[in-house]
Structure 1
Amino acid sequence: MRVRPISPELLVEELSERLASASPGEWLRVAVDGPDAAAPGEMADALVAPLRARGRDVLRVSARDFLRPASLRYEFGRHDPNAFYDDWLDSGGLLREVLAPLDPGGTGKVLPSLWDPVRDRATRARYVDVPPGAVLLLDGALLLGRWLPFELTVHLSMSAAALARRTPQEDAWTLPAHERYEHEADPRHTADVVVKMDDPRHPALIEDLG
């Protein structure tokens, strides 16, 4: 395995350059995937300004705004790791409202959020028109292996030990779901870009898994 240490700032610059030059004139759907401990939302947020500075419009969407209602998420209890893996994300809603409209020849009309998991009710967000050439930055956990259409995927990878160490105790019940994800979705081999984030202050690009 070849690993290239990189500063957080240079990582954002390299990713921004790659995304900005990809699919010019077309929508670019990008997944920034990783456990909460790896802060995929922060990474996606950090890419917005550099992409806009390079002339690409950006739409930020978070998978946490496309969770299923509590009655479905908690059908088997609040701390069931298999339900967390299989049932929490409304993949159909995410596909219908965000990803499919950005298919080639799509409408470009996207609903940026669907469900408020805290208030457990629809967000009542308004549809937005995404111009051709814009980049969709979608952050979330356990996104890969669901047959969701992305032009580029970034996986923020953590070792099991680092993930356990950096996951709050109240969320430790999710760890078996992430272990299952590593085995079933194999994100380190399927993502286009893999970043080792055992210590977010010192990331490293995994360039060759061997």
Structure 2
Amino acid sequence: MSDEPKRADVRMAIVEAAAELLRDVGPGAVTTRGVAERAGVQAPTIYRLFGDKDGLLEAVAEHVMTRFVADKAAGQAAAAAADADPLEDLRQSWRRQVEFSLANPAIFRLLSDPDRVLDSPAAQKGRQVLEARVHRLAATGRLRVPEAHAIDLIQAAGVGTIQTLLVTPRERRDPSLGDAMMDAVLARILTDAPAEEPDTPTAAAVALRALAPQIDVLSEGERRLLMEWMDRIAEAATRPR
């Protein structure tokens, strides 16, 4: 075996050992000695591979989040392939995110740090999965706001909901808070019309914007111009009146 595969195996063993300690005991248990013992390596190996404890924690957060996002992406692809209801798909994804974060509070806190999120491939992939779910919803004519605005609202509400639940003692947590917040966000971003029957110019513009890249009878330049026009109509709905 060459050095590189061996190095990758050792690194993964350390990350998984640290992830177990982080999940089962908490950040305080993720010490160099504790991780080294669980992974079956010498403490200097951790410093050589990760630099310091912060470097190890970042690697752990990325590893755990990457697995979770991969599962979400697979679920989103399956829902799209099965032509599942995009609204129910979004609701289920929201619930899974809240449940995951409550089960992994240390990971949530690490990845809710703005400086870490900006450089996190897992966090960026997670946003792309959310973008795909919102795009499917937009294509049905149900969005009353631009896709980007809807995504920002969902993410902001999700972070706030999770933080509120985490700082509340377990016995006092409101189990309905997550669904209630999702309902509030949906009331802000959705129209009242059935799917595929936009009831406002804004909803129609958002739907056409979502479908514009698929309109083959237009040239690339014409499609870009159409998308620009639809963006203007949709963005007007988010401006203060």
TM normalised by structure 2 equals: 0.23
TM normalised by structure 1 equals: 0.25
Question: Which structure: greater strand fraction?
Answer: 1
- Higher RCO (CA 8 Å, separation ≥ 6 residues): 1
Question: Which structure: greater helix fraction?
Answer: 2
